[in-house]
Amino acid sequence: MKLTYSDHRELAYKFQFAKTPHIYFGAGSFNEIGKITKRYGTSVLVLTGGSSLKTSGRLAALLSTLDAHSIKHYHTTIDTEPSPELVDEVVRAFKEKAIEVVLAIGGGSVLDAGKAASAMLPTGEPVFDYLEGVGSGVVHSGVKVPFIAVPTTAGTGSEATKNAVISRVGVNGFKKSLRHDNFVPDAAIVDPELTITCPSSVTAACGLDAFTQLIESYVSTKASPMTDGLALSALALFKDKLVAACTTAANDIGLRTALSYASLMSGITLANAGLGVVHGLSSVISAYFNIPHGVICGTLIGAATKVNIQRLTEKNDMVNLKKFATVGALLIDEDPVEMDIALKRLIYKIDEWISVLQLPLLSTYGLKTEHLEMIAAQTSNKENPVSLTKTDIIDILKQRL
């Protein structure tokens, strides 16, 4: 059976599309940060990661730019995934500083912390009460301090989403969202130059996280023609860029730009179409094990894709099989192509990325066979294109244990 890119799910014209930030994209856009920030206020709380921005000299340049624009600034660092306690600590420290803008510059953890701080500064209340599924059920009003997101990695897409992921790791751990339509960043400054200093392992995990978000949102039960178009545009750029950016061409701004675009689009598509079982697994695993989100997604996406295709084939679900095959055909860069060849190519290419980029096994972080039942029992299929059983989910985990 020949496959063409137009030969998949019939267009469903009834859909909604969430607002996006005002996006400033491209190499050098970081240099506009002072001018952009001043549009929202003249007193800013700056959140950055532990050291990379300072080491690169960009932190000093940033603070100098804020001074030049007569913007009063306070600075704090985020060197771990945000917990309720960390968010509350930031809010307490700066609640009385009359903060008019929150500016977060860093990876997904920094952006999530900044998003949560912007939401909680007006109330000063504990963020835990507002978390989905674990809090006390308090509904946030949506009133926030204006928020600007500046990603320094190409992976999470948090610069384009309405939720901040807050976690607590351990026996009674959780990974839950603080969510409201108003929490979408007011502005996203996406400068691929900021990602060049990322270690190859971070680039690899973040890149595969973006890929996972793109493919999961593309085959999602809530996908629309609009999210499909954005996802495919990003996948077309992503397909031959990640390995080179992690190995022989780490300083190539063209490659970095493609990955940053893929990450941004993955945030927009996930916000509108949702995600699949890999992210269901990540939510559970991250609650109990200190494993980076990108690593979980990157190491599991190959196994999950295989199992999804197997189950869809058993159900003769040609609509969703064609969508997976469309991605495979895109990776082959050949259209039309036999559907079974496209599906095999998709699985082969993902496995190749995982192998070449040396994504670690889950057991590296202490996950063992005896944990699989518990993880599978708590894992949601989310918007996965086929409902997977607990046995299916355990199979996915075993392949990367």
Q: What confidence tens digit (pLDDT) does each residue in 145-193 have?
A: 999 999 999 999 999 999 999 999 888 889 999 999 999 999 999 999 9
| Residue 260 one-letter amino acid | S
The token pair that represents 209 in the structure block: 């996280």
- Domain assignment present for residue 273? The answer is yes
Count structural domains, the chain: 2
Tens digits of residue pLDDT in 340-399: 999 999 999 999 999 999 999 999 999 999 999 999 999 999 999 999 999 999 999 999
Note whether 140 and 227 are same-domain residues.
no
**Which residues, other chains included, contact 70 with Cβ-Cβ below 8 Å and sequence gap of 6+?**
38, 42
Taking the CA atoms of 275, 277, 278 and 284 in sequence, report the sign of the dihedral they define. Answer: positive
Note whether 269 and 175 are same-domain residues.
no
Residue 35: exposed, middle, or buried by beta-carbon count in 10 A (0-12, 13-18, 19+)?
exposed
CATH number for the domain harbouring residue 210 = 1.20.1090.10
- Residues spanned by the domain of 112: 29-190
Please state whether beta strands 337-338 and 2-3 pair in parallel, antiparallel, or not at all (unpaired).
antiparallel
- Domain assignment present for residue 94? The answer is yes
- Domain assignment present for residue 5? The answer is no
Note whether 258 and 174 are same-domain residues.
no
| In the predicted structure, residue 7 carries a pLDDT above the cut 60 | no
| Mean pLDDT value across the chain | 94
Phi, psi at residue 80, to the nearest 5°?
Answer: -155, 165
pLDDT computed for residue 12 by the predictor: 52
DSSP label of 81: P
Note whether 184 and 251 are same-domain residues.
no
Note whether 186 and 155 are same-domain residues.
yes
Sorting pLDDT into bands at 50, 70 and 90, what band is 207?
A: very high
Note whether 173 and 238 are same-domain residues.
no
Note whether 93 and 109 are same-domain residues.
yes
Note whether 314 and 382 are same-domain residues.
yes
- Domain assignment present for residue 18? The answer is no
Assign 164 to helix, strand or coil: strand
Note whether 44 and 147 are same-domain residues.
yes
Taking the CA atoms of 30, 94, 267 and 352 in sequence, report the sign of the dihedral they define. Answer: positive
pLDDT computed for residue 75 by the predictor: 96
Closest CA to 157 of 284, 251, 346, 21: 21
Look at residues 157, 190, 223 and tell me which one is the last residue of a structural domain: 190
Look at residues 190, 209, 237 and tell me which one is the last residue of a structural domain: 190
Note whether 204 and 60 are same-domain residues.
no
Note whether 150 and 126 are same-domain residues.
yes
pTM over 0.75? The answer is yes
- Domain assignment present for residue 21? The answer is no
CATH number for the domain harbouring residue 121 = 3.40.50.1970
Cα separation, 100 vs 205, in Å, equals 34
Look at residues 163, 190, 217 and tell me which one is the last residue of a structural domain: 190
Note whether 288 and 366 are same-domain residues.
yes
pLDDT computed for residue 329 by the predictor: 92
DSSP bridge pairs for 175: 167
- Domain assignment present for residue 278? The answer is yes
- Domain assignment present for residue 1? The answer is no
pLDDT computed for residue 225 by the predictor: 92
- Domain assignment present for residue 20? The answer is no
